[in-house]
Chains A and B, each alone.
Chain A
C-alpha cells in the first residue's frame, strides 16, 4: 500500500482524558455481551428504560437564579413560557453556606451568582404562580440542603400541596463539596448524618423527591478527567449507600430516590461511554455488593449539564457549537434531564437571549435531530463498547486505590481527591498554553477581536432589598414560636434524632436559614479544608 495513505497526523490519538484510541475497532474489541445487555435491563449499560427518549423527552431544566426572588421568578416564568419543562434553582453564596443576607460574610455576595433565600417568604416569591404539584424543582444546595428542602415543603403545604405530591431534587451531596465545589457547612460526619435523615424522611413522606443528586459535574469543572469524575462520583455514591444501610434503612426504600449529575465535556464519544460505564458500575454495585432487590434501586438516573469550564471568553459565539455537541453527547448517553449552558457564561450569568438559544439547542435535538428515534443508537459500536469497558476498568482501579487509602472520608481529609484533580487541572492548562491541546479561538484560529457580548448586570441594590425583607419577616413573625421550634431542633439534633420534621416546623414559624444553620453549626462546628494547590 502507498505509504502516504497510511501516514497519520499524530503518533498517538487519545480521548480528552488521555485514554489511548486505536485507529480502528473491530468485533474482537467488544466486551462480553452480558456487559452490554438491553435498554431497561440489568446492568442498564444501554439505558434505564426500554423506550428511553421515544417514551419521554428528557426534562429540559436550565439552572437559573439571580438578583432578587422577584427577578428569579420572572426568569422562571420566561423559561417555562419558552418550553422549559423543569426548574433548577441557583442560590447565591451566602445561601449555599447557610448565612442570612445580613451576615457580615454576605457583604457584596447577595444575589450575585444565584438568588438569596433567607426565609420561606423568599421561597413563596420565587415560586409564585408556579404549580409545585405539576412542575419538578431541582435545588443546587448542599450543606444546608435539609433546611432549604424543609422551606420548600413548608411553602408547598402553605399552598395546599402535600409532601407526597411534590417532585424534585435537592443536590445534598456534601462529599463532592469537600472534593470540588467547596460550599460546605458542617464537618463530614454530621453532614452524612443529615443526609441519611433526608433519605429516611423522603422515603417515608416525600416519595417523589430525589433526596440527593450525587454529582460529578463539579469534580469535572474543578479540573478532573472523565475517569476521575466517574470514579470519584460513584465512590461518593457508594459511601452514601453504606451510610444509609448502617443507619438500618432498607436499601430498597431509599435507593430508588438516589439520583446523579454528570458533566458533558467536549469529547463526544468519551462522554457517551462515561455515562454508559456509570450505569453499569452502579447497577453491579447495588445488586451484587449491596444486595438491593428492586430493579429501580439498581438504576442510575442522571441529570447532565454541559461543561461550563469548556466555554471560552474568546469568540464566545463558538460556545453555542460546543454546547450543542456536548448536549448531543448527553442525549446519546441516555440522560434523564439536561441543562445546556449559554454562550455568554464565561462573562456573567446569562442574558434572556443567550439562555433562549441554550434552550432551543435542546429543543432542536429533541424535535429535529432524529437522535431520539431509536434507543441507544451507539450501542454495539465496537469503539463505544470498548471505551465503556475501558472506563469501567479505570474507575475500578480508582475504587481499589480509595479503599487502600481507607475510604472516601479519609481521602478527603488527606487531600487525595483534591490533589488528583489539581494535577489534572494544571496539566490541562499547561497543554492549552503550550498548544498541545487545541482550543478554537484560544490557541488556534484566533481573530484577535475583543469579544462584544451583552452581559447581564445584577442590580447593586439587591443586598439592600434582600436585607429589608429579612428585617420585615423577622419583625412580623411570632418570636416565641421561632424560639420554641429552634429549641426543638437543637434537642433533636443533640439526641441524634431525624431532624427533618423539626426543620419543617422551624420553616413554618419563619425561622431564617441562618437561624437554623446556626443551631447546627453551634453543635458541630464548621469544616475547614486543607489548602492544597
Chain B
C-alpha cells in the first residue's frame, strides 16, 4: 500500500485543498497521514521518516513555498531519506514551479489541478522510485 504524508509547512492556514486531497488519496486506497497546519520543515521531514512514507505532499497557499519546500527536500536528503518523493501544491506561479522542480520537487500542482491528475501523478512517482531502487 502506498503511504503518503500530506503536510502543511509554514504558517498557512488554508487547509481545504490538503484535506480534500487527503480524503481522495485515502479513497484511492492509499494510507494517508495528515500533519495538520503550521508544521516546520524539520517536523515534516521527521514525520515522513517515522511514518516511513513513500511520498510527501506539501501544500502551501501563503506564498512561502520557495523558502519552505526546498528545505523539506534538503532535510530528507540530510537525514538519509532521499528515496522519499516530494510533491507540492498551492498558489504557485509557473516560474516558481520550474525552480522547485530543479530543487528536487517531483511535481507541482497549481490552481485548477484535479484530484485525478494529482492521484495519478503520485502513483507514477512511486512507480518510478520503485524502478530506480
Give B60 Cβ to nearest chain A Cβ, in Å.
9
| Complex CA distance for A422 and B17, rounded to whole angstroms | 10
| Complex CA distance for A223 and B24, rounded to whole angstroms | 15
B18 to A107, Cβ gap below 8 A? Answer: no
A426 to B23, Cβ gap below 8 A? Answer: yes
| B3 adjacent to chain A (CB < 8 Å) | no
| Complex CA distance for A348 and B93, rounded to whole angstroms | 8
Assess A113 versus B112: contact at CB under 8 Å? Given A93-B10, A108-B67: no
| B16 adjacent to chain A (CB < 8 Å) | yes
| A371 adjacent to chain B (CB < 8 Å) | no
| A533 adjacent to chain B (CB < 8 Å) | yes
| Complex CA distance for A106 and B24, rounded to whole angstroms | 31
Choice from B16, B35, B110, B116 contacting A222 with Cβ under 8 Å? B16
| B103 adjacent to chain A (CB < 8 Å) | no
C-beta contact mask, B1-26 vs A, less than 8 Å → 1, else 0?
00000100011111110111011100
- Of residues 333 to 350 in A, which have CB atoms within 8 Å of B's CB atoms? 346-348
- With both beta carbons as reference points, the residue of chain B lying nearest to A218 in the complex is identified as B13
Shortest beta-carbon contacts, A-B, top 10: A108-B67, A531-B36, A313-B112, A182-B13, A112-B63, A108-B64, A313-B111, A93-B11, A533-B19, A533-B22
B11 to A97, Cβ gap below 8 A? Answer: yes
A93 to B62, Cβ gap below 8 A? Answer: yes
Assess A425 versus B20: contact at CB under 8 Å? Given A346-B111, A346-B112, A533-B6: yes
C-beta contact mask, A102-143 vs B, less than 8 Å → 1, else 0?
000111110011000000000000000000000000000000
Please give, as numbers and ranges, the residues of chain A lying within 8 Å of B40 by CB-CB distance.
Answer: 105
C-beta contact mask, A77-106 vs B, less than 8 Å → 1, else 0?
000000000000000011011010000011
A221 to B16, Cβ gap below 8 A? Answer: yes
18 A–B contacts, CB within 8 A, in A order: A97-B11, A108-B68, A109-B67, A112-B63, A112-B64, A181-B13, A221-B16, A313-B111, A314-B112, A422-B19, A425-B16, A426-B19, A433-B116, A442-B112, A531-B35, A533-B6, A533-B22, A533-B34
Please give, as numbers and ranges, the residues of chain B lying within 8 Å of A442 by CB-CB distance.
Answer: 112
- Of residues 59 to 75 in B, which have CB atoms within 8 Å of A's CB atoms? 61-68
Identify which of B6, B63, B116 gathers the most chain A CB atoms within 10 Å of its CB. B63
Give B99 Cβ to nearest chain A Cβ, in Å.
12
Q: What is the predominant secondary structure among interface residues of chain A facing chain B?
A: loop
A109 to B62, Cβ gap below 8 A? Answer: yes
User: By the criterion of a CB under 8 Å from any partner CB, how many residues of chain A are at the interface?
Assistant: 40
| B37 adjacent to chain A (CB < 8 Å) | yes
| Complex CA distance for A222 and B68, rounded to whole angstroms | 23
B20 to A433, Cβ gap below 8 A? Answer: no
Known: A223-B16, A433-B114. 14 other contacts (CB 8 A): A93-B10, A109-B64, A113-B61, A113-B62, A222-B16, A314-B112, A346-B111, A347-B93, A348-B93, A425-B19, A458-B63, A531-B34, A532-B19, A533-B22
Please give, as numbers and ranges, the residues of chain A lying within 8 Å of B49 by CB-CB distance.
Answer: none
Give B21 Cβ to nearest chain A Cβ, in Å.
9
Please give, as numbers and ranges, the residues of chain B lying within 8 Å of A533 by CB-CB distance.
Answer: 6, 18-19, 22-23, 32, 34
| B91 adjacent to chain A (CB < 8 Å) | yes
| A429 adjacent to chain B (CB < 8 Å) | yes
Instruction: Point out residues on A near B: beta carbons under 8 Å.
Output: 93-94, 96-97, 99, 105-109, 112-113, 181-183, 221-223, 309, 312-314, 346-348, 422, 425-426, 429-430, 433, 442, 455, 457-458, 529-533
A348 to B91, Cβ gap below 8 A? Answer: yes
B15 to A182, Cβ gap below 8 A? Answer: yes
Assess A93 versus B24: contact at CB under 8 Å? Given A346-B111, A533-B6: no
A112 to B19, Cβ gap below 8 A? Answer: no
A422 to B23, Cβ gap below 8 A? Answer: yes
Please give, as numbers and ranges, the residues of chain A lying within 8 Å of B23 by CB-CB distance.
Answer: 422, 426, 533
C-beta contact mask, B88-130 vs A, less than 8 Å → 1, else 0?
0001010000000000000000111011100000000000000
| Complex CA distance for A351 and B59, rounded to whole angstroms | 24
- With both beta carbons as reference points, the residue of chain B lying nearest to A311 in the complex is identified as B111
- Of residues 35 to 50 in B, which have CB atoms within 8 Å of A's CB atoms? 35-37, 40
| Complex CA distance for A113 and B11, rounded to whole angstroms | 11
B110 to A313, Cβ gap below 8 A? Answer: yes
A113 to B16, Cβ gap below 8 A? Answer: no
Please give, as numbers and ranges, the residues of chain A lying within 8 Å of B35 by CB-CB distance.
Answer: 531
Please give, as numbers and ranges, the residues of chain B lying within 8 Å of A530 by CB-CB distance.
Answer: 36
